[in-house]
């Protein structure tokens, strides 16, 4: 038994299980029972119920809970957890460079709420079939993009999944870290993931923050309401009627709309044009490629239901990170 410790507990989120459980409950309780999606197209399609039946895929952020915990609750509450028998968790690599993907050598992932069992048989099967790397214990525990979802996954299964309520080990986790993948690699990994999307007992969590804006992120893209976009410098002039945070929101909206389009190519093109620093663009790309490979009309199209930022940037010296939550019916 090799258990990955909750290495970010006590810093990125509380390590007190009782406090964490209450915090998650409070954020989930704040999410309404229905909402209007925020995509340019999806917003015109009427309200959606929360949760949505058969919503088996979500995109949710992975920052410290004081920043992104409330936004993530929208994605988690939108999903249909009742019939899940395994949870796939796809997240980006922030510290370890790889051009493919990797999975864990651990048999369980710890959270302050309790342990999540790894589906070791399926992990081994996928590792061989997909030619995946194996994360070292250090790489596994250094990466936060997977860990920040574990308490929410545990909480939702505990609340809504009868099998998990009877035996937590009966709903295991399949964690996959996606590296700096090329479009071709994303399509290849998507084709391998596609058969699992058609399994009605599999649920998918895609880990991603959206725009990281500011000089510390080496991204100061500014898109005025008219004219050509530019990259701001300390002496740059900003349109008096178009604050930097409005430009950030506009670029994120384009990225969300590209995801909602269901076209992997459209998403890649939008990122090329704007350079938007969506840190989970590769896991999102793999999921979108898988949906395209599955080829079932109307299936797997994400709908964004929440968008927040760590702050509203007014000055070039400021910075912010964006958090977006979405779900898809499979």
pLDDT digits over 82-111, tens only?
A: 999 999 999 999 999 999 999 999 999 999
Residue 295 confidence class, pLDDT cut points 50, 70, 90: confident
Q: How far apart are CA 239 and CA 91, in angstroms?
A: 36
Q: Domain range spanning residue 170?
A: 3-329
Of the candidates 217, 200, 204, 214, the one whose C-alpha atom is nearest the C-alpha of residue 284 is 204
> What's the pLDDT tens digit per position in 14-23?
999 999 999 9
The burial class, CB within 10 Å (0-12 / 13-18 / 19+), for 173 is buried
Cβ neighbour number for residue 15 with a 10 Å cutoff = 14
CA distance 302 to 262: 7
297 pLDDT more than 80: no
Are 286 and 193 in contact, with CB atoms under 8 Å apart? yes
Residue 235 confidence (pLDDT) = 75
Q: Which two tokens stand for residue 276?
A: 């938007």
182-235 confidence digits (pLDDT tens): 999 999 999 999 999 999 999 999 999 999 999 999 999 999 988 899 999 987
- pLDDT over threshold 80, residue 272: yes
Q: Where are the alpha helices (DSSP H) in the chain?
A: 17-29, 65-78, 120-130, 137-142, 144-147, 150-160, 162-166, 183-197, 244-261, 264-274, 281-294
Greater model confidence, 181 or 241: 181
Helix %, strand %, coil % of the chain (to 5) = 40, 20, 40
Q: Are 209 and 308 in contact (CB under 8 A)?
A: no
- What is the chain's mean pLDDT, rounded? 96
Is the pLDDT score of 249 beyond 90? yes
Q: Which CATH number do you get for residue 238? A: 3.40.830.10
* pLDDT value at residue 236: 82
Query: Percentage of residues in the chain with pLDDT exceeding 90?
Result: 94
Tally the domains of the chain. 1
The structure tokens 């939008």 sit at 270
Give the pLDDT confidence score for residue 239 in this predicted structure: 79
pLDDT at 299 over 90: no
Mean pLDDT across the stretch 267-272? 98
Determine the pLDDT at residue 296. Answer: 79
Tens of pLDDT along 28-86?
Answer: 999 999 999 999 999 999 999 999 999 999 999 999 999 999 999 999 999 999 999 99
């Amino acid at each position: 038994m090799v258990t990955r410790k909750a290495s970010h507990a006590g810093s990125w989120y509380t390590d007190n299980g009782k406090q964490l459980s209450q915090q998650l409950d409070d954020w989930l309780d704040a999410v309404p029972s229905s909402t209007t999606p925020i995509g340019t197209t999806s917003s015109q399609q009427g309200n959606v119920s929360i949760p949505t039946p058969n919503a088996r895929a979500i995109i949710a952020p992975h920052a410290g809970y004081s920043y992104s915990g409330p936004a993530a609750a929208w994605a988690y509450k939108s999903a249909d957890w009742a019939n899940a028998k395994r949870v796939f968790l796809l997240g980006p690599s922030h510290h370890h460079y790889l051009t493919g993907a990797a999975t864990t050598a651990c048999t369980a992932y710890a959270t302050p709420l309790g342990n999540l069992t790894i589906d070791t048989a399926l992990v081994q099967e996928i590792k061989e079939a997909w030619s995946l790397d194996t994360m070292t214990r250090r790489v596994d525990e250094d990466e936060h993009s997977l860990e920040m979802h574990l308490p929410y996954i545990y909480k939702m299964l505990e609340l809504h999944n009868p099998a998990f309520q009877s035996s937590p080990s009966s709903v295991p986790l399949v964690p996959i870290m996606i590296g700096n993948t090329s479009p071709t690699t994303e399509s290849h990994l998507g084709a391998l993931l596609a058969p699992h999307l058609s399994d009605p007992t599999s649920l998918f969590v895609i880990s991603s923050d959206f725009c990281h804006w500011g000089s510390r992120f080496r991204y100061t893209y500014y898109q005025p309401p008219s004219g050509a976009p530019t990259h701001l410098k300390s002496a740059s002039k900003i349109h008096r009627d178009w604050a930097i945070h409005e430009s950030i929101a506009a670029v994120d909206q384009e990225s969300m709309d590209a995801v909602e389009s269901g076209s992997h190519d459209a998403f890649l093109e939008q990122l090329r044009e704007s350079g938007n620093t969506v840190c989970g663009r590769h896991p999102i790309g793999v999921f979108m490629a898988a949906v395209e490979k599955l080829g079932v009309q109307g299936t797997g199209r994400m709908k964004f239901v929440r968008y927040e930022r760590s702050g509203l940037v007014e000055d070039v010296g400021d910075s912010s990170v964006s958090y977006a939550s979405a779900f898809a019916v499979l």
